């Protein structure tokens, strides 16, 4: 079936290209891109949530970014200096194995720097990532869905699940088989792999909480514990830095301005969100928005369309 939406996006993207997007703006901007998984064999969880790029799509995406932006090292974000061109930063969230197996080698060959925001509990303990666990239970467990209904929890449940809620469910129904969830989730990075990339000048590691809870579902005490535990785990790595990326990332449902101030007070040097906007080079460097890319953005025209949306959103235009 022909997908009219994709054809329209490609046509708009093709028509915009560089000229309209770059020359139509008076000032340069910083575009921060976020990827989750890069793999030709993504897990069912990754497929269910459209979180991956294939290896060839990732190559196209990085080529397109390199052609049209100065890709800067994430540490340079704080300096805020403009080199006279639009700038880009490459980021990854969570720590899926394909990022280390497939994406980082491609970036190393092209001398492209990046930051990986890690949840260290799944990396250290062979423990499922929370959204994979909740998505698995939502998909396969009637007990879980009935339990959520009695608690009046909205969907998607991973946005509303608190540690107390999961504890109560497991206390009542027993814990779920982690191996089954891990199979559904797909391979996650381990400490050996993190250490292997730890002497690279092109890769730094940031904080994404110890486990992938939604910040808005945590008490302030739980949030500080999650941030501090993850920082402690990251401190075993030379390339760890104090940048923080919100889990899920959307303002309102996932974080608010108070959360930003709180995380900065805990020691975060910059906080990253995922609302799909570009950042003005003149604006604050402590709260930085990101544009998610996945297999859906697999041609240059679609990438131009995505950038057009991001630039328009940064000026408050939706759609």
Choice between 294 and 301, CB closer to Zn ion: 294
Binding to Zn ion by CB under 5 A, coded x per residue (else -) over 47-86, reads ----------------------------------------
Residue 94 near Zn ion by CB under 5 A: yes
Q: Do strands 270-272 and 240-245 pair parallel, antiparallel, or not at all (unpaired)?
A: parallel
Choice between 21 and 132, CB closer to Zn ion: 132
* Nearest one of 306, 282, 300 to 87, comparing CA atoms: 282
Work out how close the CB of 115 gets to Zn ion at its nearest, in angstroms, rounded to a whole number: 13
Work out how close the CB of 304 gets to Zn ion at its nearest, in angstroms, rounded to a whole number: 26
Of the ranges 102-110, 158-166, 241-249, 310-318, which one interacts with Zn ion (CB under 5 A)?
Answer: 241-249
Work out how close the CB of 90 gets to Zn ion at its nearest, in angstroms, rounded to a whole number: 16
Q: Cα 66 from chain centroid?
A: 20
Work out how close the CB of 119 gets to Zn ion at its nearest, in angstroms, rounded to a whole number: 7
Residue 37 near Zn ion by CB under 5 A: no
Residue 93 near Zn ion by CB under 5 A: yes
Work out how close the CB of 158 gets to Zn ion at its nearest, in angstroms, rounded to a whole number: 10
Choice between 93 and 259, CB closer to Zn ion: 93
Residue 295 near Zn ion by CB under 5 A: no
Q: Which ranges of the chain does DSSP label H, i.e. alpha helix? A: 4-18, 44-48, 55-68, 97-98, 104-109, 120-125, 130-140, 142-150, 163-173, 178-185, 191-196, 220-234, 257-265, 300-314
Residues 213 and 217: their CA atoms lie apart, in Å, by 7
* Nearest one of 72, 96, 67, 68 to 82, comparing CA atoms: 72
Q: Rg (Cα) of the chain, in Å, rounded?
A: 19
Work out how close the CB of 116 gets to Zn ion at its nearest, in angstroms, rounded to a whole number: 11
Of the ranges 107-115, 247-255, 274-282, 300-308, which one interacts with Zn ion (CB under 5 A)?
Answer: 247-255
* Nearest one of 72, 144, 160 to 111, comparing CA atoms: 72
Choice between 64 and 213, CB closer to Zn ion: 213
Work out how close the CB of 171 gets to Zn ion at its nearest, in angstroms, rounded to a whole number: 26
Which DSSP helix (H) or strand (E) runs through 98? helix 97-98
Choice between 107 and 209, CB closer to Zn ion: 209
Of the ranges 92-100, 149-157, 271-279, 307-315, which one interacts with Zn ion (CB under 5 A)?
Answer: 92-100
Contact 48, 105 (CB under 8 A): no
Which residues contact Zn ion (rule: CB under 5 A)? 93-94, 247
């Amino acid at each position: 079936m022909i997908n009219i939406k994709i054809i329209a996006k490609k046509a708009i993207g093709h028509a915009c290209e560089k000229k309209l997007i770059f020359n139509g703006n008076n000032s340069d901007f910083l575009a921060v891109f976020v990827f989750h998984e890069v793999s030709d064999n993504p897990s069912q969880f990754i497929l269910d949530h459209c979180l991956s790029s294939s290896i060839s799509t990732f190559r196209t995406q990085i080529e397109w970014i390199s052609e049209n932006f100065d890709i800067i090292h994430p540490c340079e974000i704080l300096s805020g200096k403009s080199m006279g061109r639009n700038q880009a930063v490459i980021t990854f969230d969570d720590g899926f194995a394909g990022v280390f197996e497939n994406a980082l080698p491609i970036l190393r060959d092209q001398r492209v720097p990046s930051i990986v925001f890690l949840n260290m509990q799944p990396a250290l303990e062979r423990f499922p990532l929370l959204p994979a666990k909740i998505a698995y239970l939502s998909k396969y467990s009637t007990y879980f869905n009935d339990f959520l209904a009695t608690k009046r929890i909205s969907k998607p449940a991973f946005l509303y699940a608190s540690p107390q809620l999961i504890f109560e469910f497991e206390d009542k129904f027993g814990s779920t088989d982690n191996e089954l969830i891990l199979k559904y989730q797909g391979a996650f990075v381990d400490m050996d792999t993190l250490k292997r990339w730890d002497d690279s000048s092109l890769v730094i590691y940031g904080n994404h909480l110890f486990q992938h809870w939604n910040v808005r579902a945590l008490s302030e005490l739980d949030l500080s514990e999650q941030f501090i535990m993850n920082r402690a785990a990251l401190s075993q790595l030379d390339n760890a830095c104090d940048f923080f990326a919100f889990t899920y990332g959307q303002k309102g449902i996932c974080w608010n301005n108070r959360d930003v101030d709180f995380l900065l007070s805990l020691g975060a040097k910059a906080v990253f969100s995922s609302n799909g906007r570009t950042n003005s080079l003149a604006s604050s460097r402590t709260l930085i928005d990101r544009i998610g890319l996945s297999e859906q953005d697999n041609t240059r025209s679609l990438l131009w369309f995505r950038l057009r949306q991001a630039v328009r959103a940064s000026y408050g235009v939706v759609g």
